[in-house]
Structure 1
Amino acid sequence: MEKVPDNFLGIEPELSNFEKSRVVVASAPYEKTVTYGKGTSKGPRAIIEASKQLEFWDEELKANIVEKIGGVATLKPYDIKNKKPEEVAQILERETKKLIERKKFVVTLGGEHSMCIGPARAYSKSFQNISILYFDAHGDLRNEYMGSEYNHACALRRIADVNGNIVHIGCRSLEEEQMGFIEKNKLKFFWAHEFKRGLVNYEGIINSLKENVYISFDIDVLDSGLHPSTSNPEPGGLDWYDMITVLRNVGKEKNIVGFDICEHSPIKNFYAYDFTAAKLAYKTIGYALLKT
């Protein structure tokens, strides 16, 4: 039996060449500040393994995404295991900026959600008129948590330090102080209960975003009954079609410039959850680069 190449999608060199590929997949296997469940450092590897089982044809976009966009290159994982979270932010910002300068569309696989700070900052500083579209069950707006301003619970607050154009999707857990920050800074929140009760304003989401959009996914935005393999699960949440409806609309109307997927914590022998994260990555690439 022929061995499948060890990269995102398990694709041959003609479709995974760095110089020719528009998209690059980076891995940030980090879990230094996790405060509940463990295992997020194994997320990137699990997502890449699951991606090898994906069908390349997408029935919704009516295209072989990887061929249509000219390939996807997979980078060697960042060596960040023993770094402080503020160092990780600096490293990922620097490395993402280098890739942006080479005209690459960067997909970063985490890892705990603190690792989104670096890529989000790199994109915020590299593009004008840019919003952060943040999918998460939690507010992530604490200024400091457990002795660190770069804890995963502070991720969006550190992004807001450099980019206040934030649209948050799917939140259902935050403290009162964070609510004050949201109101003071006029951040746009579209709550999980609005999706569950059919009250979400999809047009309002689009109108809240600027021309360019960087997306950060915490996989716990999904209903915990559908995707329990995450370090900080919350009851309720979005279902698959809630999420991809938002993504498809954003892809049609805006310019998605890059994204990350964080907080996937694999459960042994439960491959469906790994596959969900892998398909989310693949479809988001399609929504971003194939206008439908």
Structure 2
Amino acid sequence: MLQKELYLKTSGFLRAKEDYEKSKAVIVGVPMDFTVSFRPGTRMGPRKIREVSYGLEDYSPYLDESLNNKNYFDAGDLDLPFGNVEKSLKIIEKSAENILEDNKIPVFLGGEHLISFPLIKKVAEKYPELAVLHFDAHADLRDEFFGEKFSHATVLRRACEHLKDKRLYQFGIRSGIKEEFEYIKQHGFLSFAEVKEGFMNKFDEFKNYPLYITLDIDVFDPSYAPGTGTPEPGGCTSKDFFDLIPYFKKLNIVGFDIVEVSPINDLSERTSLLAAKILREVLLCIC
């Protein structure tokens, strides 16, 4: 059962329904950027994604479907103790646990990438065969960062501790230390700088697993998504990603997050609009 005391109610995402019981997916915002190491501001991402969603049509020409026909609930933003990483991760984990117990799909909006760790952990408990599709500019596979085990730079390393070996698929990665690239060679798959080609090459392999998708908005070139904490030149185009959307429909997606949208670093709002449009497509695929 959804624990309402965990949330601060906000205006909902485009066409979100009011009936939690009938919803297939539940949107949760996580306004957290406590371990960000370069540019802060991602705590403002969830609200901005919702705000700009009202500029989108509910109909997707990519999928020929409308959100009017889908049931999903927007719970609002989690009420986190500012600066307390450990307690915040426990609250995120509890939220995911409640949603999964109700047999709904968790859809979380960041916030920094560390929020994905407790989510993947809980989803993996429910789905032991889980694989993770990770779209990002950065590998996020360090064992520690500035002496910390829990950081936006260590999130996928921590997540791997709760997955079977070789169940991490990374796309678009173009930044990291050597040890991270060595780690993924031994424990997963990495498509260096490429998104579409790597995704299609491995599609027949990962389509058989329950999947958690984590999307860091900096997987896109900064010309498409400048509003992020650690922009990295050389990324994919928005078209590259939307070309993949019809294939999402063929996957068993059991959890999703989109993270690292930092509105204060993008006055044009195109980063938030991109995130909102991606969210629309994902909801159409999973609901």
TM-score normalized by the length of structure 1: 0.88
Query: What is the rounded CA distance, in whole Å, between the counterparts of 1:150 and 1:81 in structure 2?
Result: 16
**What residue number does 2:68 align with?**
67
**Structure 1 residue 41: deviation in Å?**
0.4
Query: What is the rounded CA distance, in whole Å, between the counterparts of 1:40 and 1:78 in structure 2?
Result: 14
Query: What is the rounded CA distance, in whole Å, between the counterparts of 1:246 and 1:278 in structure 2?
Result: 16
**What residue number does 1:179 align with?**
181
Query: What is the rounded CA distance, in whole Å, between the counterparts of 2:204 and 2:232 in structure 1?
Result: 26
**What residue number does 1:219 align with?**
217
Question: Structure 1 residues 160, 50: CA separation in 2 closer, same or farther (over 3 Å shift)?
Answer: same
Query: What is the rounded CA distance, in whole Å, between the counterparts of 1:84 and 1:182 in structure 2?
Result: 30
Point out where structure 2 has 5 or more consecutive residues left out of the alignment: 1-9
Query: What is the rounded CA distance, in whole Å, between the counterparts of 2:120 and 2:244 in structure 1?
Result: 19
**Structure 1 residue 22: deviation in Å?**
1.5
**Structure 1 residue 68: deviation in Å?**
2.3
Query: What is the rounded CA distance, in whole Å, between the counterparts of 2:229 and 2:26 in structure 1?
Result: 26
Question: Structure 1 residues 247, 130: CA separation in 2 closer, same or farther (over 3 Å shift)?
Answer: farther
Matches within 5 A, 1:224-235: 224-235=222-233
Matches within 5 A, 1:1-292: 6-9=11-14, 11=16, 15-64=17-66, 66-69=67-70, 71-163=71-163, 164=165, 165-185=167-187, 187-192=188-193, 194-195=194-195, 200=198, 202-252=200-250, 254-267=251-264, 269-289=267-287
**Structure 1 residue 32: deviation in Å?**
0.5
Amino acid at match of 1:140: D
Query: What is the rounded CA distance, in whole Å, between the counterparts of 2:31 and 2:110 in structure 1?
Result: 6
**1:77 counterpart SS class:** strand
Amino acid at match of 1:239: T
**What residue number does 2:3 align with?**
none
**1:170 counterpart SS class:** strand
Query: What is the rounded CA distance, in whole Å, between the counterparts of 1:280 and 1:81 in structure 2?
Result: 29
Aligned length: 275
CA deviations 1:36-85 (Å, max 9, x no partner) are 01110000010010112221111121111x2222x221113112242533
**Structure 1 residue 240: deviation in Å?**
1.4
Query: What is the rounded CA distance, in whole Å, between the counterparts of 1:109 and 1:206 in structure 2?
Result: 28
CA contact (8 A) 1:140 1:157 kept: yes
**Structure 1 residue 27: deviation in Å?**
0.7
Shifted more, 37-46 versus 127-136: the winner is 127-136
**2:155 counterpart SS class:** helix
**Structure 1 residue 232: deviation in Å?**
0.3
Amino acid at match of 1:144: E
Point out where structure 1 has 5 or more consecutive residues left out of the alignment: none
Question: Structure 1 residues 286, 173: CA separation in 2 closer, same or farther (over 3 Å shift)?
Answer: same
Shifted more, 219-228 versus 88-97: the winner is 88-97
Question: Structure 1 residues 76, 28: CA separation in 2 closer, same or farther (over 3 Å shift)?
Answer: same
Query: What is the rounded CA distance, in whole Å, between the counterparts of 1:58 and 1:84 in structure 2?
Result: 39
CA contact (8 A) 2:62 2:245 kept: no
**Structure 1 residue 97: deviation in Å?**
1.4
Q: CA RMSD in A?
A: 1.9
**1:75 counterpart SS class:** strand
CA contact (8 A) 2:171 2:198 kept: no
Q: Between the two proteins, what is the percent identity of the paired residues?
A: 31
**1:152 counterpart SS class:** coil
Amino acid at match of 2:191: F
**1:278 counterpart SS class:** helix
Amino acid at match of 1:275: L
TM-score normalized by the length of structure 2: 0.89
Higher helix share: 1
Shifted more, 264-273 versus 38-47: the winner is 264-273
Query: What is the rounded CA distance, in whole Å, between the counterparts of 1:56 and 1:208 in structure 2?
Result: 29
Shifted more, 176-185 versus 220-229: the winner is 176-185
Question: Structure 1 residues 201, 50: CA separation in 2 closer, same or farther (over 3 Å shift)?
Answer: closer
CA contact (8 A) 2:25 2:286 kept: no
